[in-house]
Amino acid sequence: MIRLPKAKINLGLRILRRRTDGYHDIETLLLPIPLRDALEVLPSDGEMKYDFGDWGEPSEDNLVVRAYHMVKEVNPELPPVEIILRKRIPTGAGLGGGSSDASNMLLLLDELFELKMSYHEMHQMATRLGADCPFFLRDEPQLAEGIGEKLSPFPLNLEGKVLTLLHSDLHISTAEAYGGVVPSEAGPSLREVLAGPIEEWRGTLYNAFEPHIFQRYPMLAHGKEQLYRAGATYAAMSGSGSTLFALSNAPLLLSDWKGTQQTYTL
């Protein structure tokens, strides 16, 4: 059985406050996008098998492997499986690839072995795997609050818009991203900003990680400027970076971006 885990982008990302448990309360709109990995699960012949392609043999800390063991904790009869993963979503890029793979592993196991787990059960497991993971249990735009686990569907129609993704070789860890952020509750909520037309998002819909990340990595600031010069209606960094994205009415032509560029129609 195969699933194609989607990547996501963040439309706005507010870091509201630091919590007593060391995490941060955030507010962000998570949007699934057409960039996908491929994840296949097959019954095995008595032992766990892994085929992660160029990624090599996974460790027990791999989110997909951890997802399998979480399901087995509550379903001891779960048999060994063969897990085949092919990555197209870059890691450390703010696109949630690892989180998406893990949540899709939960969904695959539930469907393949008819476990009949509830959404609530899988949500709890996904939250233990990572703050982004619960979002990928449903394929729809969702407003994420709390540490990212409090989700609510959000009506957002971007059909026909062109999505441009700019990737670089930069790998920005979550610790690095949060290490320089300044929490703030000032300004309008995302609900207010996103209720307005996309033409008004520039300057009001912001990613709180951008100021210090762009200062540390000027090529990202330059990339965002390039996107606007090429005709983007809205451009930003996704999550904690380093992927930049743009929404536009037509494909964008960038002449001097040093990384890779991908284009999709939403």
Tell me what pLDDT residue 46 has.
Answer: 87
> Given 6, 8, 101, 224, which residue is catalytic?
8
142 and 86 within one domain = yes
Radius of gyration of the chain from its Cα atoms, rounded to whole angstroms: 19
Number of domains observed in the structure of the chain:
2
200 and 84 within one domain = no
Distance (Å, whole) CA 16 – CA 27: 7
Distance (Å, whole) CA 122 – CA 117: 7
Tell me what pLDDT residue 22 has.
Answer: 84
Q: Are 137 and 106 in contact (CB under 8 A)?
A: yes
Tell me what pLDDT residue 27 has.
Answer: 97
Token pair belonging to 76: 């001891």
CATH of the domain at 198: 3.30.70.890
86 and 200 within one domain = no
Tell me what pLDDT residue 13 has.
Answer: 97
> Given 6, 101, 132, 224, which residue is catalytic?
132
Tell me what pLDDT residue 90 has.
Answer: 92
Q: Is 8 a catalytic residue?
A: yes
Please return the burial class of 52, using the count of CB atoms within 10 Å of its CB with bins 0-12, 13-18 and 19+: middle
Which of 153, 179, 205 is where one domain is finished? Answer: 153
Which of 131, 153, 175 is where one domain is finished? Answer: 153
Question: Which amino acid belongs to residue 216?
Answer: R
Give 113's contacts (C-beta < 8 A, 6+ positions apart): 75, 78, 79
125 and 184 within one domain = no
172 and 135 within one domain = no
Tell me what pLDDT residue 11 has.
Answer: 98
32: containing domain: 2-153
Tell me what pLDDT residue 57 has.
Answer: 82
| Cβ neighbours around 179 below 10 Å, total | 9
Mind giving me the DSSP string for 77-113?
TPPPEEEEEE--SPTTSSS-HHHHHHHHHHHHHHHHT
258 and 178 within one domain = yes
186 and 62 within one domain = no
Tell me what pLDDT residue 122 has.
Answer: 97
179 and 136 within one domain = no
Tell me what pLDDT residue 198 has.
Answer: 96
Q: Is 101 a catalytic residue?
A: no
CATH of the domain at 50: 3.30.230.10
Dihedral sign for Cα 110, 114, 115, 117, please: positive
- What pTM did the predictor assign? 0.94
Please state whether beta strands 38-43 and 81-86 pair in parallel, antiparallel, or not at all (unpaired).
antiparallel
106 and 8 within one domain = yes
Token pair belonging to 222: 């330059």
Euclidean distance between the first and the last CA atom of the chain, given in angstroms as a whole number: 26
Tell me what pLDDT residue 59 has.
Answer: 86
Which segments of the chain have a pLDDT < 50?
A: none
